[in-house]
Homo-oligomer: A and B are copies of this chain.
Amino acid sequence: MRLAELSRRSGVSTATIKYYLRERLLPPGHQINATTAEYDEEHLRRLRLVRAMIQVGRVPVAKVREVLGHVDDDSLGRTIRLGAAMWALPQVPEPDEDDEFVQAAEQEVITLLDRLGWENTKRLTTISSAYRSLVVAMAALRRIGYDWEAELLEPYAELMHRAAVLDLNLLETQPSEAERIEFAVLGAILIEPVLQALHRLAQEEETTRRYGFE
């Protein structure tokens, strides 16, 4: 298809597509002659991914390029590619290891992983941004006086594990490996706001069931 059709089918303006091409977020079209290039379904799919990251995820352009580099590097194994793509997304700052609240939170998170039997995750603590996020969130709670124990978090972690099983089942329905990797990136950006909204809606439902409407 020509640029005009790519624009029509994607809903992205031709000016924006040209910008993405210049920034190498989209591979060049197949040049037919000096002034005309042809685009295919893969361009359309990549355009959708780029838009999701930039418009919905508000990921900076340089970061998008970095994520796409991991997505496209098929010399890597699947877990590494899935992980590398996620790890390139916006990160929490490194926790301060000298902080007493961080140390206590880390202790509690390790206890949680032991209780859950998440042995694989325990091997990844030094490189996992999810692990760092949890330590930072728990340390923030401790700093204002909420010393939440692993026992309290365990049922939440089990629910989130079921959500992860749904995520990966969904991912495995994607037809090609490239699409599965892309789906993982989209999932991180797009599923999380949906889950958060569902959680709040469920809180409203449960609150009104228990206490009525007043």
Contact = CB atoms under 8 A, between A and B. Distances in A.
Interface of A: 11, 48, 51-52, 55-56, 76-80, 82-83, 86, 118, 120-121, 123-124, 128-131, 133-134, 136-138, 140-141, 143-146, 148, 152-153, 155-157, 159-168, 170, 186, 188, 190-214
Contacts of A199: 160, 163-164, 192, 195
Nearest to A210: B168
B140 A56 contact: yes
A198 B160 contact: yes
Given A193-B133, A197-B134, A83 B52 contact: no
Contacts of A212: 77, 79
A201 B128 contact: yes
A175 B88 CA distance: 43
A108 to B, nearest CB: 11
Given A133-B193, A141-B190, A207 B153 contact: no
Nearest to A117: B205
B156 A86 contact: no
Nearest to A76: B214
Contacts of A155: 166
B164 A120 contact: no
A87 B148 CA distance: 25
14 contacts: A48-B145, A77-B214, A79-B212, A79-B213, A118-B201, A118-B202, A120-B204, A121-B204, A146-B186, A156-B195, A157-B201, A161-B202, A163-B199, A196-B196
Given A83-B207, A141-B190, A164-B202, 15 more contacts: A55-B140, A77-B214, A78-B211, A78-B214, A79-B212, A86-B203, A118-B201, A118-B202, A121-B204, A128-B201, A130-B204, A138-B194, A140-B190, A163-B202, A168-B203
